[in-house]
Structure 1
Amino acid sequence: MASATKTTSHSLSDDDQKTPINSSSIVSLINPTDPPANASTKGIQILTRAQTSHPLDPLSAAEIKVAVATVRAAGATPEVRDGMRFVEVVLSEPDKNIVALADAYFFPPFQPSLLPRTKGGAVIPSKLLPRRARLVVYNKKSNETSIWIVELSEVHATTRGGHHRGKVISSQTIRDVQPPMDAVEYAECEEVMKNYPPFQEAMKKRGIEDMDLVMVDAWCVGYHGEADAPSRRLAKPLIFCRTESDCPMENGYARPVEGIYALVDMQNMVVLEFEDRKLVPLPPADPLRNYTPGHTRGGVDRSDVKPLQILQPNGPSFRVNGQYVEWQKWNFRIGFTPREGLVIHSVAYVDGSRGRRPIAHRLSFVEMVVPYGDPNDPHYRKNAFDAGEDGLGKNAHSLK
């Protein structure tokens, strides 16, 4: 079926709209053929169908840029604008009726039965509503978290001579919450700790002179009491030490540095509390710690496993058209967010004469909790919320 972005839509004349539209007529609109030379086009308005993004497609780079620029420009003062950190910029997912309209006429699976209807029959739209972005913004200067909705009225690539336009639909400051820390904050926290003299002394007591070997992981404090209340942006770092600073596969997590307690103000990047509570010996250097080829027990890789080959000489059994995937009788759309990672939309099954049966509107991993289960300090507070605190999508790796 031809791409929806390359076809034209035909709005019907008044006489045509008196008759309900059947599936075959919709298909002819989706895949219009050139009319005969003597055919009359009286009463038919030709409209360019300019929907290049499905309502559920992840935001493009251009859309993200427009959304960020729109929110930053809406800042009340230069100080507010300069203090903005954009923690998350994602698609503000539309209502189901907008998705149904897109699937009915603009994009596969092209289901005419989903078109809205009036007494005169099905209504043929000329375009969809503008897409929207949802932004989570942390203001470092004021320690405030806000959520913004931006309408992406028109977004074209500047290389095509287009222009960018966005409009703030709403903004709301959320009290007593803290959004996830970002990579910049992780790096800043590590630098603050490494430059803190009491921390340097604690490392020397453990025989660590080269601070480049030290790894500082900023962990969320959790909420164990009023001292941990989210009115402050706090972290309690965990410390590790590599044995080689120039090895790209070095597993520093094999050598935790224990007995050290630190509390860091992530808003102002200062160490609030520090204690060297107990001198715990470092785990010895182990050449097998990296689990890389050749570093196995005995010093050689196993040779008793036969090769595994997966071949598809006729290609895969699935088809991918943009974000739309078909596999056997299943079809769905793929999305992606920094927090959840993979999102699967509009899952359906083509069930013979019953047609396309909706199975699920939206599927994702909303959270993954990892309780370490050790009552000793500092491990008792290691209960990672991998989606909400770190982001499954931000830590995903391509399988290619």
Structure 2
Amino acid sequence: MTHPLDRLTAEEYESNREVVVAAGLVTPTTRFPVVQLAEPPKADVLSWKAGDPVERRVKTVLLDRADNSVTEVLVDLGSRRVVGTRAVDVATEGQPPIMLEEFGIVEKILWAHAGWNAAMTRRGITEHRRVRISALSAGSFDLPGETGRRLTRCLAFLQLNDDDNVWAHPIDGVVAYVDLNTREVVELVEDGRDYDLPREPQDFHLPQTERTTQRPIRITQPEGPSFSVDGDVVEWEGWRFRIGYNLVEGLVLHQIGFRDPGRPERVRPVVYRASIAEMVVPYGDPSPVRFWQNYFDAGEYSLSREGNSLALGCDCLGEIRYFDGVIHDDDGHARTIGNAICLHEEDAGLLWKHTDGYNGSASTRRQRRLVVSFFITVGNYDYGFYWYLYLDGTIELECKATGVVFVGAYPKDVARGTYPWGNEIAPGICAPFHQHLFSARLDMQVDGDVNTVDELEVQRVPMGPENPYGNGFTRRSTRLRTELDGVREADNRVQRVWAIGNPASLNALGEPVRYVLHPEGQPTLLADDASSIARRAAFTTKHLWVTAHSDAERYPAGEYVNQSVGGTGIDTWVRQDRPIDGADVVLWHTFGLTHFPRPEDWPIMPVDTTGFVLKPDGFFDRNPALDTPDPAPGRRAHGAAATTTAPAGGEACCHSEG
């Protein structure tokens, strides 16, 4: 390895497993829910120099099904020895995430249960092999007899044939609570309502009669891409960063910086570490078989466990550089997801344009962005995560939600259009209202480790001596000084944003350099403040949390999210009320979608997007993209004397989308 943050290799996963086995920590009933690089402390990484020794440590979470015990193991790969262990109290801390093998385990458990078989028979289902069980995270609701168990709650769907879209045929009104370790049905719940089983095929994935009106769009870069890749390090148009990848968060961007135009040997840091540290999908149907539906796709399912292998021409267009994602299977062996990460650059419309009536000039420049992306499937839903770096110093994250909406059957005793908790999106098919809420963890490093955070918002000014005509308005700035100050909500009515600055680094105007976080300002968690999900996913109740950096604080809902009771995440950390004014700060930004499903979302949902933007505000002394080349180099600057010569295949004047 050449850097402390290099991604774990397949060989390192295998070596880690060998050490854990040799230490006597693995039995025939031991599973490996989580194996990840134990990233060195931030201070150690920042002080590391090329040529220094690289310490490689791996953190493994072991689950023993025989006694439901969970153990954390820390392995030093260099010395090939275990350097630490810790027993996890699953009753108070929570369970490790759900593993792939557990989706198959529940089917065997349920079909061995007389009550489940009887429930299926009452619904007219006799062919077991056509029933698909959706094993879903159980949450924590203080239900009797559940404490300490490793549970899932199971709903069922009917698959009409091998090619059928199973999600279109919900077997409603029944849910089974299953213990994955003892392999028993703890409880079978039926709500007593009458449902029809929707049986109309809804097959979007099979060959269709396709339109013939589309002409090809070809994106080519005959001279190759403008970026360079050296191992995990990417450089592009002044930007420099390191690619990371792990089981829980998936894609991570490390040490994002911008090369100083005046001193190209210096890369100015902006963000030390950026990731989606958690995402939760809370459903709003309080019925007896659905009240528990809320899924933490990172903490309960692990974002990269079902990462997609991306394909040129389908997921990515242009001159692509792919990175494989190396994670592990439930036995702790290495598992490689080919083409898990896609890197490419693309045209992004106009960068700037001006036609000047005084000097006769006409200037147009095209914006480009570098795209780093990965895609996951979590049961019915699919999510894409796209990090964009722009020529003007902007950083953007766009999350794309698509896939198949999770549905139930529409209750027969409810008049069409009157069910308060969901919409009928196809005959007899009801999609519950729900949210997709993400937490971006942004370990900031704006020109150094000592940063401040100011809340900026517009302010109306009443008519008076200083504003005699009433046209004046201004901007108010409020310094966030401690962690409790840093618990904030967005407000688009006053265009509220948050500026991360460095008082020790001044720009040409003598002002601290800074980047500004622009939120979308969509709704936060809509569940009641006293609900289980509000307790477990407290990070979703505010748009912003600012904490003093701690290497131990990685996940906003805590490390063991599956069946957690809450109280181990960000809402607990901020009670320390540590100083954040002139400190090493981490921003945790909540954003997302509130989804009232439409018929147009069925049988497969067109992409819906959400995200945020980080924009430089005084970080540069002027527009950093002034040297962007003219897209029509045959044209002279002054419109009055412009040549009509055009570049091959183009036009002298550029008219295109904005």
* Same fold flag (TM > 0.5): yes
* Residue aligning to 1:379: 290
Deviations 1:54-113 (A, max 9, x none): 21112111211121222233236xxx63332111111000123443355x324xxxxxxx
2:164 matches 1:253? no
Range with bigger deviation, 319-328 or 227-236: 227-236
Deviations 1:184-206 (A, max 9, x none): 12211112112323322322332
2:237 matches 1:291? no
* Residue aligning to 1:340: 249
* Residue aligning to 1:323: 232
* Residue aligning to 1:197: 114
Q: 3-state SS of the aligned residue for 1:66?
A: helix
Q: Aligned partner of 2:38: which letter?
A: S
How many residues align structurally?
Answer: 305
Cα distance, 1:229 vs structure 2: 5.1
Determine the C-alpha separation between the residues in 2 that align with 1:238 and 1:293.
25
Tell me, yes or no, if the aligned pair for 1:222 and 1:228 is still in contact at 8 Å: no
Correspondences of 1:53-68 after superposition (within 5 Å): 53-68=2-17
Determine the C-alpha separation between the residues in 1 that align with 2:72 and 2:120.
41
Structure having the larger proportion of residues in helix: 1
Determine the C-alpha separation between the residues in 2 that align with 1:227 and 1:351.
61
Instruction: Pick the aligned partner of 1:268 from 161, 164, 182.
Output: 182
2:50 matches 1:105? yes
Determine the C-alpha separation between the residues in 1 that align with 2:214 and 2:288.
42
Instruction: Pick the aligned partner of 2:81 from 161, 164, 167.
Output: 167
* Residue aligning to 1:181: 98
RMSD of aligned residue pairs (Cα, Å): 2.0
Q: Aligned partner of 2:203: which letter?
A: N
Structure-2-length-normalised TM-score: 0.44
Closer, same or farther: CA 254–131 of 1 in aligned 2, 3 Å: same
Determine the C-alpha separation between the residues in 1 that align with 2:2 and 2:120.
53
Tell me, yes or no, if the aligned pair for 2:189 and 2:289 is still in contact at 8 Å: no
Tell me, yes or no, if the aligned pair for 1:73 and 1:81 is still in contact at 8 Å: no
Structure having the larger proportion of residues in strand: 2
Instruction: Pick the aligned partner of 1:211 from 107, 123, 128.
Output: 128
Tell me, yes or no, if the aligned pair for 2:190 and 2:289 is still in contact at 8 Å: no
* Residue aligning to 1:393: 304
Tell me, yes or no, if the aligned pair for 2:36 and 2:246 is still in contact at 8 Å: yes
Tell me, yes or no, if the aligned pair for 1:178 and 1:233 is still in contact at 8 Å: yes
Instruction: Pick the aligned partner of 2:71 from 132, 146, 152.
Output: 146
Q: 3-state SS of the aligned residue for 1:82?
A: coil
Closer, same or farther: CA 228–345 of 1 in aligned 2, 3 Å: farther
Structure 2: which 5+ runs fail to align? Answer: 312-658
Tell me, yes or no, if the aligned pair for 2:240 and 2:267 is still in contact at 8 Å: no
Q: Aligned partner of 1:145: which letter?
A: V
Higher-Rg member (1/2): 1
Range with bigger deviation, 88-97 or 192-201: 192-201
* Residue aligning to 1:239: 156
Range with bigger deviation, 166-175 or 372-381: 372-381
Determine the C-alpha separation between the residues in 1 that align with 2:12 and 2:249.
20
Instruction: Pick the aligned partner of 2:211 from 280, 302, 310.
Output: 302
Cα distance, 1:283 vs structure 2: 0.8
Q: Aligned partner of 1:134: which letter?
A: K
Q: Aligned partner of 2:186: which letter?
A: L
Q: 3-state SS of the aligned residue for 1:347?
A: strand
* Residue aligning to 1:73: 22
Tell me, yes or no, if the aligned pair for 2:2 and 2:54 is still in contact at 8 Å: no
Determine the C-alpha separation between the residues in 1 that align with 2:144 and 2:246.
32
Write out the 4+ residue segments of structure 1 that deviate beyond 4 Å after TM superposition.
Answer: none
Closer, same or farther: CA 202–321 of 1 in aligned 2, 3 Å: same
Cα distance, 1:275 vs structure 2: 4.0
Tell me, yes or no, if the aligned pair for 1:324 and 1:331 is still in contact at 8 Å: yes
* Residue aligning to 2:34: 88
Range with bigger deviation, 56-65 or 373-382: 373-382
Determine the C-alpha separation between the residues in 2 that align with 1:192 and 1:293.
32
Determine the C-alpha separation between the residues in 1 that align with 2:147 and 2:35.
22
2:195 matches 1:280? yes
Tell me, yes or no, if the aligned pair for 1:264 and 1:271 is still in contact at 8 Å: yes
Q: Aligned partner of 1:73: which letter?
A: A
Range with bigger deviation, 230-239 or 273-282: 273-282
Q: 3-state SS of the aligned residue for 1:71?
A: helix
Tell me, yes or no, if the aligned pair for 2:244 and 2:254 is still in contact at 8 Å: yes
Structure 1: which 5+ runs fail to align? Answer: 1-51, 107-126, 154-164
Tell me, yes or no, if the aligned pair for 2:191 and 2:289 is still in contact at 8 Å: no
Closer, same or farther: CA 230–290 of 1 in aligned 2, 3 Å: farther
Range with bigger deviation, 224-233 or 58-67: 224-233
Determine the C-alpha separation between the residues in 1 that align with 2:33 and 2:11.
17
Determine the C-alpha separation between the residues in 2 that align with 1:140 and 1:319.
46
Instruction: Pick the aligned partner of 1:314 from 223, 237, 246.
Output: 223
* Residue aligning to 2:268: 357
Q: Aligned partner of 2:227: which letter?
A: F
Tell me, yes or no, if the aligned pair for 1:58 and 1:90 is still in contact at 8 Å: no
Tell me, yes or no, if the aligned pair for 1:216 and 1:238 is still in contact at 8 Å: yes
Range with bigger deviation, 198-207 or 259-268: 198-207
Structure-1-length-normalised TM-score: 0.71
Instruction: Pick the aligned partner of 1:128 from 53, 59, 67.
Output: 53
Q: 3-state SS of the aligned residue for 2:144?
A: helix
Determine the C-alpha separation between the residues in 1 that align with 2:307 and 2:102.
19
Determine the C-alpha separation between the residues in 1 that align with 2:199 and 2:278.
35
Determine the C-alpha separation between the residues in 2 that align with 1:242 and 1:344.
40
Cα distance, 1:227 vs structure 2: 3.0
Q: 3-state SS of the aligned residue for 2:299?
A: helix
